[in-house]
Structure 1
């Protein structure tokens, strides 16, 4: 039983034979992709507050130290990103930060917002006004919370990380795999194109990795909403000194993801955290969001590679590299996006022309 699944009403039936199959997968059992994609984004860390205290995470600040970007700061970041040719505004914040952080709640109240999700809706509108497509990754969400912001986001996401009960998530505010799965399920029920992934090296074992990938697959098979799965290594930082997975582990985990997932679901490898050139033959076909103007605020010690470096990686592998939007084109073609997002892409504005150019170049 996945920890927390029953209490959150998540019914995921893990096929034991499939688990055994995945445990035997090696890089030799999968094929390299025939092309690579990436998105050009701007990272908007809306707040550094989070109700969780995962031992590997440097993103959160304790109460009294956490910050909250103002609407004016968000607009400036988005405008800079749009001017640099970005198409995505990646909004991040910790899970329900206004629940634990009194100062954050009071600041939102002073600005006229009842909750962080009401504020997220407002800043997503700002991103659209400045010519970017919002992609929000605000952690666990209830159906009400996600419904509040889904129509102003081209896509959304949350990392499953693992279905295992690991010590890295422990403590008085432990992270529940069941709640994460409930968020992924909610996105499917609401028809939100979604990004998720596994975090490798936080105390899970190989069986846990297989079960995590199969849980994602089952939810996708029900709803068809998972556009990409990230296979991300934990990296050492000031709060995590328990090591990072070695190359052999990342190669096997990446191949396992490719073998577990349907062909239409991309396997993403983050090029600032993972040894991408050594993983391409393991089924990687997407390099995620890369920003020419902002840091990776979740992993600030690991700078994004330049787009030219991504081109070099693709050239060395002998495959083409193309830019994509934060929502995969099939979801646009099949009518998944809201009228607000479709209008932003189709309208004859500078932003719309930029979005269409990305779509045309990717064909």
Structure 2
């Protein structure tokens, strides 16, 4: 039913009755959230080399033109972010470079790294040294690759995008839904708090959208590890001129996501790409990572809103705006949670998180560390309104 899933060892049976129920969902079937959250981050575009050539993506550069940040450049970005009050270093990535990227591989070898994941680990360690929590999104990953970097990440992520085979995933090496699902499952098996999402408007139909959301739900039900699901529209850019989904489409698919997913999973829309103000009443409770100092390197034509604009979105929805960390609080040990945190929703959906170690000793040490004011992460965990 899902292309390539069995090939990658992911057994998924999507209930067609559940698909039909989701197809009948409208925005009137959901309610606005009690609060709206966001994370303050810096984008660190570690490499623009990518084995894929998706027709909607401007992030990747062809062989011979791809960039690879030095660790000194990573440190400077992270230092600026820490000084600006950020808590997250988002490592954006082209999927593991293939053999065409000879210059990238030669540079890694010259610098003493066997693979891009070994180098990512070193970059995450730099972020931790500068007082930021890494959240890496390196695309498709084997279990071994993910294990290489898991303990130096507070959380990780990959966009599922869609379970359908679409023409937009063009080129000699196409994205395979089964491989994407395998990456999400790997995170669950390794007890990694995980972010994923769907991409709307790349050639999928409504049934595909429903199946994608239900596939995410089923993997979460197995592992209890999905913390948020992004509902992201494809946007016009220099490589994509086939249009973006209209507001009615975004409202309906966002409502479908809220109905499809357990309450414990946040539904996120990126406020620089989606009409967030018109989607909050469709169940959106998160605006994702927003950077006060760096561009959205994946969508550089679409600037991040300022903090005051996020507050305006929340005010228009009549809900409070709260800052969060890149790892959701329900994945933290009890002694790091705030007294005000209600970690177990009414349906008990995250009961499986209680007896598992979701953060490594390295990340725990970072969370317990203090900056000059003694406030860095405690300010966020206390739930204070952002300044």
Structure 2 length-normalised TM: 0.92
1:215 aligns with 2:237: no
User: For structure 1, which runs of at least 5 residues remain unmatched after alignment?
Assistant: none
Change (3 A) 1:350 1:210: farther
Question: Aligned equivalents of 1:231 and 1:97: distance in 2?
Answer: 26
- What does residue 12 of structure 1 align with? 12
Q: Tell me if the contact between 2:191 and 2:225 (Cα under 8 Å) persists in the aligned partners.
A: yes
Alpha-carbon distance, 1:171 to partner: 2.4
Q: Tell me if the contact between 2:52 and 2:173 (Cα under 8 Å) persists in the aligned partners.
A: yes
Residues 317-350 of structure 1 deviation map (CA, whole Å, 9 limit, x = unaligned): 1100000000000001344100100110012344
Change (3 A) 1:352 1:71: farther
Change (3 A) 1:352 1:253: farther
Change (3 A) 1:141 1:100: farther
Q: Tell me if the contact between 1:346 and 1:352 (Cα under 8 Å) persists in the aligned partners.
A: no
Residues 296-329 of structure 1 deviation map (CA, whole Å, 9 limit, x = unaligned): 0000000000011101110111100000000000
Structure 1 length-normalised TM: 0.98
- What does residue 25 of structure 1 align with? 25
Residues 50-92 of structure 1 deviation map (CA, whole Å, 9 limit, x = unaligned): 0000000000000000010000000000000000000000001
- What does residue 377 of structure 2 align with? 355
- What does residue 260 of structure 2 align with? 260
Question: Aligned equivalents of 1:99 and 1:351: distance in 2?
Answer: 47
Residues 218-276 of structure 1 deviation map (CA, whole Å, 9 limit, x = unaligned): 00000000000000000011100100000000000000000000000000010000000
Alpha-carbon distance, 1:362 to partner: 5.3
- What does residue 346 of structure 1 align with? 368
1:79 aligns with 2:76: no
Question: Aligned equivalents of 2:199 and 2:218: distance in 1?
Answer: 19
- What does residue 251 of structure 1 align with? 251
Structure 2 SS opposite 1:230: strand
1:336 aligns with 2:358: yes
Question: Aligned equivalents of 1:152 and 1:317: distance in 2?
Answer: 36
Question: Aligned equivalents of 1:308 and 1:289: distance in 2?
Answer: 15
Question: Aligned equivalents of 1:167 and 1:14: distance in 2?
Answer: 23
Alpha-carbon distance, 1:203 to partner: 0.1
- What does residue 273 of structure 1 align with? 273
Question: Aligned equivalents of 2:192 and 2:123: distance in 1?
Answer: 19
Moved more, 9-18 or 197-206: 9-18
Q: Tell me if the contact between 1:52 and 1:174 (Cα under 8 Å) persists in the aligned partners.
A: yes
Alpha-carbon distance, 1:352 to partner: 6.5
Change (3 A) 1:67 1:352: farther
Q: Tell me if the contact between 1:93 and 1:139 (Cα under 8 Å) persists in the aligned partners.
A: yes
Alpha-carbon distance, 1:351 to partner: 8.5
- What does residue 144 of structure 1 align with? 144
What's the Cα RMSD here? 1.1
Q: Runs of at least 4 residues of structure 1 off by over 3 A?
A: 348-352
**Which one has a larger percent helix, Structure 1 or Structure 2?**
1
Question: Aligned equivalents of 2:311 and 2:105: distance in 1?
Answer: 43
Residues 142-187 of structure 1 deviation map (CA, whole Å, 9 limit, x = unaligned): 0000000000000000000000000001321111000000000000
Question: Aligned equivalents of 1:352 and 1:200: distance in 2?
Answer: 42
User: For structure 2, which runs of at least 5 residues remain unmatched after alignment?
Assistant: 334-353
Change (3 A) 1:109 1:314: same
1:327 aligns with 2:327: yes
Q: Residues 67-146 of structure 1: matches in 2 within 5 Å?
A: 67-97=67-97, 99-146=99-146
Residues 78-125 of structure 1 deviation map (CA, whole Å, 9 limit, x = unaligned): 000000000000001111115431100000011110000000000100
- What does residue 195 of structure 1 align with? 195
Q: Tell me if the contact between 1:344 and 1:352 (Cα under 8 Å) persists in the aligned partners.
A: no
Count, aligned residues: 363
Q: Tell me if the contact between 2:42 and 2:86 (Cα under 8 Å) persists in the aligned partners.
A: yes
